Amino acid sequence: MFRKKATSEEGKVGGIEDFMTLIRVYYQAVMASNLGISNINMLPDLAMFKRTLKVATQNNKLGIAEKSRCKKMLMQIYNLNENFFKEIDNSIKKNCRNINMVNSYFFQFQRFNESLMMAVSNEMKYTMRIPFKKMLYTQTEAAISNILTKNNWKDEAMFKTVGAVRQLQQALGYSSAWMTDFVSTEFLVDFGILDAARSEFAHCLVAAVFLSLVWTPPILIS
């Protein structure tokens, strides 16, 4: 999730890459604010966001204003609720108590996201293209409930993926409701059901250097 991936839809305004970039920006802003990170070059997505939207630094501390601006955009564009962000804040507070824990958190969350999306996609393979928001949300919620509670998986690969999701969920502290909000929003954007092309950020990206950014871990600890 924290890695920018090249896709056939690069350059599409309001697509899944815009959503995932804003999510990465929020995580990086929280970490910058919590840990007092001042070198913005360590946080490439946050740096791009700040420069593209010209977000002024608040109280001489990186992350505060950027977090607020990014959160507002995610709530307005993707209808994410306050609890969604509280869970992210709590997860980072618990698992990133110092700068040396940042890299491990990023990679742990990336594994969680990849395993979760794989498990949900397999569980919902016959219903993923439902063109209705509420119905897709309900199906996603049911799939995640199965992933967290069902034990009789016939497919060995699915069994291992579900095990990884449960282990990482416990470690990171995300609820089933948070997982449902996150995954269903990804589906809605990716399938074009949720139109985010009107977003301020999406239009700014057209003129930004966003698509040329190459991912590097936000902080390298020697």
Half-sphere exposure of 108 (CA within 13 A, CB side): 18
- 0.75 cut: is pTM over it? yes
Give which of 96, 71, 80 is closest to 171, Cα–Cα: 96
**How far is the C-alpha of 23 from the C-alpha of 3, rounded, in Å?**
11
Q: pLDDT tens for residues 142-153?
A: 999 999 999 999
Q: How far is CA 94 from the centre of its chain?
A: 18
DSSP string, 143-185: HHHHHHH----SSHHHHHHHHHHHHHHHHHT--HHHHHHHHHH
What letter represents residue 61's amino acid?
K
Q: What is the pLDDT of residues 97-136, one digit of tens each?
A: 999 999 999 999 999 999 999 999 999 885 656 667 888 8
Report whether 65 contacts 46 (CB < 8 A). no
CA atoms of 4 and 17, how far apart (whole Å): 8
